[in-house]
Amino acid sequence: MLDITLLVRVHVDALIAAQNDMGVCDAIRPNTPVGKPTAMSAPHLPKVAGIDPMVPVSTHTAAPLKAVPAAPGAFIQDRLAGWVSDLTTLHELTERLAGTSTLDTALHELLGAGAALVGARRGLLVLEPADGGGPSLTIGLGLAHAELGTIETVPRSATPYGRFLDGLPDTDTPMASPDILGDDSIDPRCREVAATLGYAAGYTLPLATRSSGRLGVAVWLYDEPAEPLERQCHLVGLYARYATEHLARLLELERARADAAIIAEELLPTRLPRVPGVQLAARHRTAPKGGGDWYDALALPDNALGLAVGSVSGSGPSALAAMGRLRAGLRAYAVMEGEDPVAVLSDLELLLRLTEPSCAATALYAYCEPERRTILLAGAGHTPPLIIGDRRTEFVETTISAPLGMLACWEAPSVEFTPAPGETVLLYTDGLLRRTGDPMDRAFARLHAAAAGVPKALRHDPGAVADHVLRTVLPEGLDRSDSTEDVVLLAAHFD
């Protein structure tokens, strides 16, 4: 029997190229075969069932190696493990950043992730887009608002991040300040602030993209003299490259939302009318995507008052445009035949079918005579008003009707009621209920409980009543990033 030496071949070229690209290791020399081949006799295929094989066999075979190359060293495995760990960390951090949908949450996520990558405990991030379109803000990590104010007392030209934000030359690369207190070339005020706040070193990373230019700068602070390792700088640079692109997209989205909010406010009344015998207050909160909820109040002849709230389906610019046209139409119809709410909504139904055939909307219009304290209202698929007083808190019983645009011809009977002196009538859109996330019956119960819980000292002020209801029904805030619902409240307090 022939003694054949085992041939071991280790291919590490791909590993070396990948590690060199990532900057994880310096160099790894590939193993090469050694030794000279020796001649061997050609093997014969075994006989099967006593029959010789008919297939000819080549007489040339691969030669064995006299020496076996050594397996890769342990340092390669350590470097490979470190490389995999870095990739895993970057993947997790970028996944978390990609999950942010608002600019504020993305900025905080970037600041915290960068601190973990460079091994810092505190830091700050200044957002200041180069185009001047805003928004401009400063957030901190492990720094209170007063401490951020102390840092801002340092002249911008004396700080690396300030020079970058001012667009000075040769400031577009990361910069480490390993010993702020011991470096005499640093501005004295900068060293004084560092000693006051208890940090001794910093690492500054500009945030910029090719398309959007400068967005801002991040600074991480160390409690002791230190600077990040080359590997840490490389990792935070890779992370920041992705983060700045994500920030640029969110910045454009934030600006679009701000423009939509401004347009929505411009489409609503700039002030509420003053009519003897009644006090008015309105609250309007626009969803991040811009919804189509609206309200209106207009003085009518004979000291009468027209109140209206409504909601257009959808969100974004199309909903805002439809909302503006619908509100303008209702104002015209209210002036012509405001004492008949059914006629007003019937005309509005016709307008909607002619101008917005693919749109649906809800609306509620009330004709008020404050001197007599009477209200005549009609609703089209809208939520009923709520009466808030010392002796009662109850919903007004209205007839069930379909939203505008859902029927070929809309018509529903009106309802008349009389609020007592000192009572407040609250008109609202269903966004107030939907933002709670509860089923509608529970949302109505929450609204009723919030209205019943208005302190007596606040019930004479319609604005205070509306604010209390908002805070109680939506305790987590009104500007949730995942909400697509506007919120409108219109409160009328009768003397």
pLDDT for residue 474 is more than 70: yes
The answer to whether residues 205 and 342 belong to one domain is no
pLDDT for residue 23 is more than 60: no
In this structure, of 113-122, 283-292, 357-366, the range with the lowest mean pLDDT score is: 283-292
Sheet (strand 386-388) strand order: 278-285, 487-494, 424-428, 386-388, 393-395
Mean pLDDT of 151-161: 91
Name the one residue in this structure whose structure tokens are 């911008």: 156
Alpha helices in 46-187 (DSSP H): 74-98, 103-118, 145-151, 160-165
Which of these three, 229, 261, 293, is where a domain ends? 261
- Kindly give, in sequence order, each residue whose CB lies less than 8 Å from that of residue 495, ignoring residues fewer than 6 positions away: 277, 278, 279, 370, 421, 422
pLDDT for residue 458 is more than 90: yes
pLDDT for residue 10 is more than 70: no
Residue 348 sits in a domain whose CATH number is 3.60.40.10
Residue 490, both tokens: 């219109």
For residue 66, the model assigns a pLDDT of 54
Q: What is the pLDDT of residues 320-357, one digit of tens each?
A: 888 888 899 999 999 988 899 999 998 898 888 888 77
Which structural domain, as residue segments, surrounds residue 310?
Answer: 271-494
Task: Tell me how far CA of residue 183 lies from CA of 188, 222, 345, in angstroms.
Answer: 10, 15, 75
For residue 71, the model assigns a pLDDT of 52
Name the one residue in this structure whose structure tokens are 């700050």: 124
Compute the distance between CA of residue 427 and CA of residue 425 in angstroms, rounded to an integer.
7
For residue 12, the model assigns a pLDDT of 36
Model pTM score:
0.63
For the chain, report the end-to-end CA distance as a whole number of angstroms.
115
Number of domains in the chain: 2
Mean pLDDT of 290-295: 82
Assess if residue 26 is contained within a domain: no
The answer to whether residues 385 and 410 belong to one domain is yes
Compute the distance between CA of residue 108 and CA of residue 97 in angstroms, rounded to an integer.
10
The answer to whether residues 244 and 323 belong to one domain is no
- Helix, strand, or coil (residue 72): coil
Which of these three, 230, 261, 292, is where a domain ends? 261
